[in-house]
């Protein structure tokens, strides 16, 4: 959905999966610094919004998701995954229950497939699933923000800030009194700094939760059965994931960022060496300079110097090998 906030001064539209909101408003680093200082907001109104109501909503979702949500307290934020039968990640949900409804925001365009799966699993449970994307916008307030939350908004509070589920009709009014607006690129830069994976960016069709550090934050290891649990338990108890997420400090003398999909090799092997991974997200950070997230083979030494394409890269461990 195209956000009305693209009419704000300096707005440059985002592309790809994030199309519909602003990539930035003319000053990427100023926008990053504002968010880091707890000021402003990010328009995430392109994200899908799914609502689950009914008396059985929590116990039912508990059977389907990787997270323990059967006793989820009102107002407590959590995140969860939907896995395939083989344990591969299919959906990532960012949840909160307001006492009558579980609200979740998901990656843009994924809500229809998620809802189709949830509908197929309703059986005799007292639940209703609805796509609320058309009438509900997601807005992010950074950690430390003192912006007043509008009446009628559902708040999902996390260590990184607050996600508001806001009636879409209130979005422009909210922006007028809650500025300055920061674009998706600023939000992504802070996400990369915080080592937080994103579905469709750090994942592919083979990704399992252990590879990205989603164990604990999105996967509960002591809950009951759910689809894909066998893979989670087997890797947790008997083995190691084949790949691991790393944070890369990129050579700042290079003018161009290595785009997602750039092949990673050992620096000692040179640019013609064997591929050991891929860049998943690369950004310019207001303090750290050019940095990236990448997924590499688990057995790559943690002190190995890397090449992202032709760009030298030093790795910082996110997921232990």
Domain boundaries, the chain: 4-47+135-194, 48-131, 242-320
pLDDT on residue 217:
96
pLDDT on residue 253:
74
pLDDT on residue 1:
80
CATH of 48-131, one of 3.30.70.1400, 3.30.70.141, 2.40.50.140, 3.40.50.10540: 3.30.70.1400
| Cα(227)–Cα(117) distance, integer angstroms | 12
Over its length of 321 residues, how does the chain's per-residue pLDDT go in tens digits?
Answer: 899 999 999 999 999 999 999 999 999 999 999 999 999 999 999 999 999 999 999 999 999 999 999 999 999 999 999 999 999 999 999 999 999 999 999 999 999 999 999 999 999 999 999 999 999 999 999 999 999 999 989 999 999 999 999 999 999 999 999 989 999 999 999 999 999 999 999 999 999 999 999 999 999 999 888 999 999 999 999 989 999 999 999 998 777 899 999 999 999 998 899 999 999 999 999 999 999 999 999 999 999 999 999 999 999 999 999
Give the strand order in the sheet containing 161-167.
154-158, 161-167, 136-142, 41-43, 181-182
| Cα(260)–Cα(292) distance, integer angstroms | 9
What backbone phi and psi angles, to 5 degrees, belong to 251? -60, 115
DSSP assigned state of 257: P
pLDDT on residue 189:
98
pLDDT on residue 179:
83
| Cα(237)–Cα(215) distance, integer angstroms | 13
Same fold for the domain at 48-131 and the one at 242-320?
no
Task: Name the CATH topology of 242-320.
Answer: Elongation Factor Tu (Ef-tu); domain 3 (2.40.30)
142 C-beta neighbours (distance < 10 Å), count: 22
Per DSSP, the three-state class of 150 is: coil
Extract long-range pairs of 153-162: CB within 8 Å, 24+ residues apart.
154/96, 154/98, 154/101, 154/103, 155/75, 155/96, 156/77, 156/94, 156/95, 156/96, 156/103, 156/105, 157/75, 157/77, 158/77, 160/190, 160/194, 160/196
Which residue, 36, 2, 49, is CA-closest to 156?
A: 49
Full-model pTM:
0.96
DSSP assigned state of 39: -
Which residue, 162, 99, 169, 175, is CA-closest to 132?
A: 169
| Cα(269)–Cα(257) distance, integer angstroms | 21
| Cα(18)–Cα(160) distance, integer angstroms | 20
In the structure encoding, which two tokens stand for residue 88, read together?
A: 């591969």
């Amino acid at each position: 959905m195209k956000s009305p906030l693209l009419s704000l001064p300096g707005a440059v539209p985002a592309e790809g999966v994030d199309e519909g909101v602003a990539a930035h408003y003319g000053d990427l680093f100023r926008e990053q610094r504002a968010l880091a200082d707890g000021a402003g907001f990010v328009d995430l109104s392109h994200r899908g919004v799914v609502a689950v109501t009914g008396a059985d909503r929590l116990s039912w979702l508990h059977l389907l998701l990787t997270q323990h949500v059967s006793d989820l307290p009102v107002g407590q934020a959590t995140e969860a995954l939907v896995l395939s039968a083989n344990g591969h990640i299919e959906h990532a949900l960012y949840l909160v229950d307001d006492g009558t409804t579980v609200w979740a925001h998901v990656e843009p365009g994924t809500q229809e497939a998620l809802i189709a799966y949830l509908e197929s699993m309703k059986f005799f449970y007292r639940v209703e699933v609805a796509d609320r994307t058309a009438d509900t916008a997601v807005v992010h307030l950074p950690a430390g923000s003192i912006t007043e939350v509008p009446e009628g908004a559902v708040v999902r509070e996390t260590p990184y800030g607050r996600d508001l589920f806001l009636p879409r009709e209130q979005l422009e009014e909210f922006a007028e009194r809650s500025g300055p607006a920061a674009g998706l690129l600023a939000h992504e830069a802070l996400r990369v700094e915080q080592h937080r994976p994103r579905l469709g960016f750090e994942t592919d069709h083979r990704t399992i939760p252990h590879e990205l550090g989603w164990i604990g934050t999105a996967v509960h290891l002591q809950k009951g059965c759910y689809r894909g649990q066998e893979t989670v338990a087997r890797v947790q108890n008997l083995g190691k994931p084949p790949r691991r997420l790393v944070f890369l400090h990129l050579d700042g003398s290079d003018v161009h960022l290595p785009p997602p999909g750039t092949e990673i090799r050992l620096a000692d092997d040179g640019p013609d060496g064997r591929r050991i991974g891929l860049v998943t997200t690369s950004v310019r950070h207001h303090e750290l300079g050019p940095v990236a997230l990448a997924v590499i083979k688990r057995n790559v030494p943690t002190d190995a110097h890397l090449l992202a394409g032709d760009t030298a890269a030093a790795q910082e461990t996110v997921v232990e090998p």
